[in-house]
Each structure stands twice: as structure tokens, then as C-alpha cells.
Amino acid sequence: MAFNIVASSFEQKYIERSQWHMTGMTGFIFGFVALYFNFVGLMTQFMERWIIEGVLTLAHLTIMGVALFGGVTIAIRSKNLSAAGKVANGAAVGAMIGIALSLLMLFMTQLDIRFMFVALSNKLFLFLSWKQGLEGGITLQIVLSAALGALGALIVVMPKVLRRPLIWGLSAVFIVGLFSELIQLVMQYEFILGFRDWFFTWEGQRVQGAMVVFVVSFSAMLFWTIRGGAVKERFGQLSPSGQKSIRYFGWACALILFLLFPAAAGSFFGQVMMYVGLFILMGMGLNLELGLAGLLDLGFVAFFAAGAYTIALFTGEHELQILLLDRPLTWWEALPLAVLVSVAIGFMFGIPVLKVRGDYLAVATMGLGEIIRVVVLSDMAAPLLGGSQGMLHIPRPSLFGWELNDPIYLFYLTLVCASVAGYFAWALENSRLGRAWMAIREDEDVGQALGINLVNVKLLAYGLGAAFAGLAGAIFAVMLTSIFPHSFQLLISINILALLIVGGLGSLPGVVVGAAMLIGTPELLREFGEYRFLAYGAVLIAMMRIKPIGLWPSAARKREIQSAEEIEASIREQMEEEGQRT
Amino acid sequence: MAHIEVDDIHVYYGNIRALQGISFKVEKGAIVTLIGANGAGKTTTLNALSGILGLREGSIHIGDTNISDFMPHQLIPKGIVHVPEGRRIFARLSVDDNLAMGAFTRNDKAELSKDREYVLEMFPRLRERLDQTAGTLSGGEQQMLAIGRALMSKPDVLLLDEPSMGLAPVLVEQVFNSIIDINKTGVTCMLVEQNAYMALQIASYGYVLEGGRIALEGVAQELAKNEEIKKAYLG
């Protein structure tokens, strides 16, 4: 199945090229990236955003970062060069980026192309030329970019003792600056207000704040690089039980911090983490279908919708529910119903596509998912499901007479549900059924010949996968207290698929990491509006190129890659031996 | 009574007739081979036996049971297991998991570990590679794994499709020796082969397929001496 090929292709090896070719290509690509950022208007927006207040904007950092990464890339790729050669090539790449930007400046002054590219404003020109006019700007831009390219290469060739702390220090400043507003949101308590205001303004971090962040993270990493080995050694000398208890203590601390964080940090974080939690739930469900059973499902959002609409139908004021019951159900009573309805939809979903395999399955399930959305939207179902008006006034659940009306409470609710569901997902993975799923993922016919009832096992994959999405839908309904058909677009299914692949297909921790990356980060960067999806796409492409097995691959996948690498290494060894003999 | 009795089966792929009335018998505890050229219908016959292909006419009996309409997964409980052409091990699972999958329908733990031991004794190479991903095994090891996986279901009947395909002569001999060993424990073996020479050496009885029909049958040793067969298949 073609999808498998995408998800399982090993890292492509670079073909050996001449140094000129590599340096030229790298400079060209990074120059193009720099121009692209300008043309799409990213820079214009980033200019408004201080990383270090009054000194550096995000736009400066981005344009400089491109040159820096150009230098890093060429230094890593040119393996046969001396340190000085690497730095020189880094400078060359940087200079090419500078030239690209200079050409842009030249164009902006000589031609009026703003009618096509709205982003190429006068402000952008001032930014690119560092307010030095055309000639001064071009000189400065080329020199600066070359210097940054050289610096990037220098970072690669410098000794580890210096490199690691430097990278950590710079990244820490960048991350703190980027999320400064959010960090200030967390620091909302009276007794640290003074501290906070010394570090930050609402525009960005202050110079002194950035310096403290840099020094602290730099020296912490420096200490770890120099002394870390000794610490690890001493840890290794402890008795195994001692090691274990320290490890458990560490995990317990991390868990407690994680649990307390949303309560301490406020509703916004509660909301984001809850949203991530919903996607973790759905991710675990699709992981059963795709990661274990190998059934690609692009209509997964339908199960999510089924859960949400069931809650809306049975807990809100609704004619059908008045007809059937004498009072609306509470959320807790409706929850099992929501899950059951989703499972039923999952079964119904599975039956028509039982004999469809591979790429065709993706298209068929996509169609089924759309059918559900269109049915919900239709006039026929409108009296029942509200059509495009959606269903409003869904009451929030309450616990012991206490209404869970804050996102933070709902986050904890999601957390509990996700933990329970996670346990089930883990148990399923290691069950007989889980093994049957893996077998049919590998080879349906052989699995059947070994006694697996294909129909049952496939329908169970759809049904149980749907249960997770139904649970997520049930929470989603009370998160917004109203639901609309447009909340259940195909994009949700694709998002879940993407987070599975980024996390590592078939791996439960991978689901969590993938959801945090692909759902959490864009939520936190809401201020950049549509541009975050640009970053989202870039991350996906980069992931597929750099680490196609995912951020946290399952043990089996890791083993698979390892043994493939070992075999490759042994073949290479053999060939070298033979080469020496002849 | 014969262990496997195939009576006048007709199998079609859509409208294309693949088998036109094949009948044969396999005695309990025998090794019977089905030889023939490419496209003669050897694999089709095995696939019909193991329920992958449906019959248009005719019947298949295992002992007293009519299995003509059985689905593939219903055959394992009847003691029939199919080692498919091209090995088709679960490439991304470990060797150990592959063996475990062979015993998917069983839940007699004690017997099961004994059978696992038996398989690993027969194929010591597999023991060395229990934790390795099956896809990284060599061709011969994969064939051993495919047979070992089938044995884990504790079958009475082993259907083998081209076990010698793509293997070096030394390995072919090893695989065929293990088939003899398995047969000695009382397992009926139905062997489909292109390597007619080897197949007729270990089988007691043989059928020659040609264009979806049985062209010739007889005691294996005599078939091996038959001039026509020598010319056509043995070279």
C-alpha cells in the first residue's frame, strides 16, 4: 500500500556531490527560503513582534536565522572539509542569501511590484536595508549574512563543550521571547509581579531578562556537558533499587507539576491542553485502526461528530429527547450512549469497506466521513440535528452538584478520560486482538489462513477506534456548549493522521508527542494567524525528510530500523573486506 | 479412508477457468506432491483447498468433514494449515511474534511452549534470531520461519506451496529434510513444487497438472522414471 511506503521509507542518503555543487545548492535553497518569507508577508508581521524588546524583532531573528542555518547545513553536509573550509563555505552560503535579499531590495526600488505582492512594503525595505538606503543596505545585508553563515558553520565545528551550551542559551532566549506573553500569563501572582516586570514587558523580554535567560541556560548546559558524565557515573553506581526510586521520584515530580500546571497557569492553558487532550484521545483511536490494524481511515472525524451530537441530543432541551425520556440525561448518563453510538457508526462504517484495501480504503473512508457531515447538514436531518444552525445550549456536566464550567475543570475531565482510554489502548495493543490486528496489517491473507476471522477483527478495529473518538466528541460538545457541522471537517481527520505520523505510527507515547507538537504549538502561536499553518506544513515536510519514523516511534519500529541498519553495516563491512582482499 | 479427498473441483477467476475437474486423494500420513509447469493450476488447487478460492463445482473433504464452503480462518481448527507461496512471513514483526501468530487460535499454554521448543529445535537458526525483525532474515530462514509458523498451529495437514522457490540448492535440501521430519511425526503433507525432481524424491505419490487438469498420476518413484516427465520437468 502506497501509504506504507510514505510512512516507512528510511532516511534518504545524500548522493555525493562536488563541494561547489553542494555549496551552491544550499545557498540557492536558503536564499529562496529567505525570499519566500518576505514575499508571503511573514516578515511584515514578524516585524511587529519583539523577541528582545527594543533590540531584536522576530523578523530580524528569522532573516538572520536563515543565514545561520544555511551555514550550519553546509558545514554538516561537507564532511570532507577542514574546519576553516567549512567556515568559508558557510560564509559563501550566507553571502548568497545576502545577495538574494539584495536583489529583492533592488527590485523593490526599481520596479513597482506592490500591486502583485502586497507584502513588499516600504517598511519591509527599511527593515531589509537596516535603514541604510539602497547601497548601504545591500553591502550591510551581504556582509551580515556572510558573517552569520560563517557563524553557523563555526557553531558546527566548535568543540562540544562550547557548542551545546551556546545552542541551548540561544534557543532558550528565543523560546522565552517567542512565548513571553504566555509566560507572563502564567506569572500572574502578586508576589512575582515585580520579578516578572523586571524580565518582561508585554511587548517582549527586556534586555536584562534575555541576558539572565542566556547566562542561566548557558551555564547550566556548560555544567552538564563538563560534569554530566560524572553525575551519570555516580548514578550508575547506586544500587538498582536506589536508581529505580530516584527515577520514580523524578517521574512523580514531573507528573505532579504537569497536573498542577493548568490550575496554576490559568484558563487559556487549560483550554489549550484540553484541546490537545481531545486530539490525543482521537489519535489513540486512529492508532488502533491505522497503527495496529493498518486500516487507513480518513473519515475518522465522523465518529467524533457522532459522540458530540449524541451528547447534544440527549442532554439538551430537544424534542426527540422529550419524546423518549421525561427529563434530559446528565452528561454522565449520556456519555456511555455517545460512546455506544460511535461504536455503532464505526461498525456501519466498516461493513461497506471490508474488502477495500490500501489507497482505495483511504478514498472510501473519506467519502463515508463526508457523507456523515453532509447528512448532518441536510434539510432532512435539520429538525433533529439543527442543520447548519448547529445545536446550542448543551449543558455542562456537573460533579457532586458542582458545574464543570471552567476549561481547567474540563481539562481534568479530559485528562481522566484520556488516561482511562490510554490504559485500554495499551491493553488492547498487547492483547490477542492487538496481535491479530498487527498480523492483518502485515498480510491479510496469511492472517486469515492462520485462523483470524477477518470480518470480526476489522469491524472491531473500526468500532473500538470509533469509541475513542466518541469519547472525545462527548467532551468537545460540552467544551463549546454548542456544535456545528463545520466543526467536523475532513481537516480534523487529516490532522489526526498527521499527528500519528509525526509522533510515530503505532506508538502510544508518539500520539501524545505528536498531538502536543501539531495541535498544541499552533494553539499557543495563535497570534500569527494563518501563518502558523505555513509552519505546520513546513514541520510536516521536514519531519518526513529528517525523521520519517516519528518523534517517539514504537519499540518494534525502532528495532526494525536498527536491524536494517545493522544489516546494511555488515554488508558494507563485507564489501570493504572483499575490496581489501582484491 | 483418505485424509484429503478432492472430488472433481472446478475453480474460476471471474470467467477464466483455472481448474477443470480435478480429483485426487491423499492418504493419512503421506507426502503427496502436485507438480506441473507455470500456470498449470498448482497454486490454485492449494488455494481452493485452504478456502482462499471458492469452488464452482465439486467438493473437498477432510476426513468426514466437507470443507468446500469453509472460509480460510475456519480451516485451522480442522487441523489444516497453508504455507503460502513466497513465504509471506509478517515482515515487520519479530521472529518470536511470527511464531506466536501461528498459534493464534490455540490457548493450551503448556502444549504450546512444547511445540515452540520443537520448532526451534528443528530450525536452530530461528532460535538465534528470535528477537530479530522477520523481514531481515535471509530467504532460507524466512522459509523456515514460514514452515515453523505453520507448525505452531499443530496441524494434521500441511499444505506447502513451492517451499524451494528462490533458495540455494543446499537450503532446498535442508527444507525438504525438515518436511520429511515433520511428516514422520504423522503430519499429512501436500507439496506443490516446480522442482519436480526433489519433490518426487520425498513424496510417495504424485500428480502431474497440465492446463487445469490432472494429466498423469502415479507412485512417485515411477513418475520420476517416466520418460515424458523427465523430458518435460526434469531436464
What average pLDDT does the segment A281-286 reach?
A: 95
Residues counted in chain B: 235
Q: Do A439 and B92 touch (CB under 8 A)?
A: no
Burial per residue of A93-110, b for 16 or more beta-carbon CB atoms within 10 angstroms, e otherwise: bbbbbbbbbbebbeebee
Which has the closest alpha carbon to B82: B174, B191, B169, B170? B191
Using CA atoms, how far apart are residues B126 and B95, in angstroms rounded to an integer? 7
Q: Which pLDDT belongs to residue A544?
A: 83
Taking the Cβ of residue B105 and every Cβ of chain A, the question of whether any pair is shorter than 8 Å is answered with yes
pLDDT of residue A41: 84
Please tell me if residue B155 touches chain A, with a CB cutoff of 8 Å.
no
Q: Tell me the pairing of strands B157-161 and B80-83.
A: parallel
Q: Is B135 within 8 Å of A560 when comparing Cβ atoms?
A: yes
A438/B90 touch (CB, cutoff 8 Å), yes or no: yes
**Chain A residue nearest residue B53, CA to CA:** A445
* Residues A143 and A98 sit within 8 Å (Cβ to Cβ): yes
Which phi and psi angles does A303 have, rounded to 5°?
Answer: -70, -35
Cβ–Cβ < 8 Å for B35, B196: yes
- Among A205-214, A294-303, A377-386, B46-55, the minimum mean pLDDT is found in A377-386
- Answer whether B72 sits within 8 Å of A445, measured CB to CB: yes
Test B104 with A435 for CB contact under 8 angstroms: yes
Please indicate if any CB of chain A lies within 8 Å of the CB of B87: no
> Does residue B150 have a pLDDT over 70?
yes
Beta-carbon separation of B82 and A556 below 8 A: no
DSSP per position, A424-478: HHHHHHTSHHHHHHHHHHH-HHHHHHTT--HHHHHHHHHHHHHHHHHHHHHHHHH
Contacts of B109 in chain A (CB under 8 A): none
Mean pLDDT to the nearest integer, A163-188: 88
Count of other CB atoms within 10 angstroms of residue A346: 28
The average pLDDT across A491-520 equals: 90
E strand or H helix at A580: helix A555-581
Task: Name the residue facing B73 among A454, A563, A564 (closest C-beta).
Answer: A454
- pLDDT category of residue A580 using cuts at 50, 70 and 90: low
Q: What are the strands of the beta sheet with B65-66, ordered from one edge?
A: B16-26, B4-13, B57-62, B65-66
Partner-chain contact B136 A564, CB within 8 Å: yes
Percent of chain B past pLDDT 90, that is, above it, reads: 65
Check residue A11 and give its pLDDT.
Answer: 45
Neighbours of A361 (CB within 10 A): 20
pLDDT at A5: 41
pLDDT value at position A30? 94
Element (H, E) at A57: strand A56-57
Location of C-alpha cell 498480523: A439
Query: Could you count the other beta carbons within 10 Å of the beta carbon of residue B65?
Result: 10
For residue A287, what is its C-alpha cell?
A: 492508532
Nearest Cα to Cα of residue A304 among A100, A128, A438, A475 = A475
* A240/A70: higher pLDDT: A70
Q: Residue B235's pLDDT is what?
A: 57
Cell numbers linked to B54: 471458492
Q: How close, in Å, is residue B72 to chain A by CA atoms?
A: 5
Cβ-based contacts of B153 with chain A (< 8 Å): 450-451
Q: Grade residue A582 by pLDDT with cuts at 50, 70 and 90.
A: low
pLDDT > 90: what percent of chain A? 36
pLDDT tens digits along A449-482: 899 999 999 999 999 999 999 999 999 999 888 8
SS3 A156: helix
Instruction: Specify whether the CB–CB gap between A44 and A117 falls below 8 A.
Output: no
A11, burial (CB in 10 Å: exposed 0-12, middle 13-18, buried 19+): exposed
Does the structure show a pLDDT above 80 at A214? yes
The answer to whether the CB of A185 falls within 8 A of the CB of A31 is no
CB half-sphere exposure, B153, CA atoms < 13 A:
31
A147-161 per-position pLDDT tens digit: 999 999 999 998 888
Tell whether B71 is within 8 A of chain A (Cβ): yes
**Is a pLDDT exceeding 80 seen at residue A13?**
no
Chain A partners within 8 Å of B97 (Cβ): 435, 438
What is the structure's pLDDT at A10? 46
pLDDT exceeds 70 at position A180: yes
Whether the pLDDT of residue A519 is over 70: the answer is yes
A135 interfaces chain B, CB cutoff of 8 Å = no
Cell triple for A70: 544555511
Going by pLDDT thresholds of 50, 70 and 90, the confidence category of residue A2 is: very low
Q: Among the ranges A113-122, A267-276, A297-306, A400-409, which has the highest mean pLDDT value?
A: A297-306
d(Cα A446, Cα A349) in Å, to the nearest integer? Answer: 24
Residue A391: what pLDDT? Answer: 85
pLDDT at B213: 92
Mean pLDDT calculated for residue range A362-385? 87
CB atoms B101 and A450 under 8 Å: yes
Question: What is the sign, positive or negative, of the torsion defined by CA atoms of A45, A50, A55, A59?
Answer: negative
Mutate to test the interface with A, among B46, B52, B73 (most CBs of A within 10 A): B73
Nearest by CB: A450 against B92, B97, B102: B102
Mean pLDDT of A122-126: 87
Angle between helices A331-350 and A358-377 (to 10 degrees): 130
- Express each pLDDT in B57-108 by its tens digit: 999 999 889 999 999 999 998 999 999 988 899 988 889 999 999 998 888 8
Helix (H, G, I), strand (E, B) or coil at A235: helix
pLDDT category of residue A383 using cuts at 50, 70 and 90: confident
Residue of A355, A450, A507, A570 to mutate for B, most B C-beta atoms under 10 A: A450
Judging contacts by C-beta atoms under 8 Å, the chain A residues touching residue B101 are 435, 439, 447, 450
Q: Which CATH architecture has domain A266-563?
A: Orthogonal Bundle (1.10)
ipTM: 0.88
With CA atoms as reference, report the closest residue to B47 among B24, B26, B28, B75. B75
To which H or E segment does residue A123 belong?
helix A122-128
pLDDT tens by residue, A487-497 = 898 989 999 99
Q: What is the 3-state secondary structure (H, E, C) of B175-192?
A: HHHHHHHHHHCCCEEEEE
| B-proximal residues of A, 536-565, CB under 8 Å | 556-557, 559-560, 563-564
Q: Tens digits of per-residue pLDDT, A415-453? A: 999 999 999 999 998 898 999 999 999 898 899 989 999
Q: What is the mean pLDDT of residues A164-183?
A: 89
**Residue A441 C-alpha, separation from nearest chain B C-alpha, in angstroms:** 9
Q: pLDDT (tens digit, 9 = 90+) per residue, B103-127? A: 988 888 888 999 999 999 999 999 9
3-state SS assignment for residue A150: helix
Computed over every residue of chain A, the mean pLDDT equals 86
Does B136 sit within 8 Å of A443, measured CB to CB?
no
Domains of chain A, residue spans:
12-227, 266-563
Q: Residues 6 or more apart from A550 whose CB is under 8 A from it?
A: A501, A502, A503, A504, A505, A507, A510, A514, A543, A557
Under 8 Å between Cβ of A337 and A329 = yes
**Residues A268, A181: Cα–Cα separation, whole Å:** 12
Per-residue pLDDT reduced to its tens digit, B13-35: 988 999 999 999 999 999 999 99
Q: What is the mean pLDDT of residues B150-155?
A: 93
Among residues 434-463 of chain A, which lie with CB inside 8 Å of chain B? Answer: 435-436, 438-439, 442-443, 445-454
Question: What pLDDT is recorded for position A4?
Answer: 43
The CATH homologous superfamily to which domain B4-234 belongs is P-loop containing nucleotide triphosphate hydrolases (3.40.50.300)
HEC letters along chain B: CCCEEEEEEEEEECCEEEEEEEEEEECCCCEEEEEECCCCCHHHHHHHHCCCCCCCEEEEEECCEECCCCCHHHCHHHCEEEECCCCCCCCCCEHHHHHHHHCCCCCCHHHHHHHHHHHHHHCHHHHHCCCCEHHHCCHHHHHHHHHHHHHCCCCCEEEEECCCCCCCHHHHHHHHHHHHHHHHCCCEEEEEECCHHHHHHHCCEEEEEECCEEEEEEEHHHHHHCHHHHHHHHC
Q: Chain B residue with minimal CA distance to A437?
A: B101
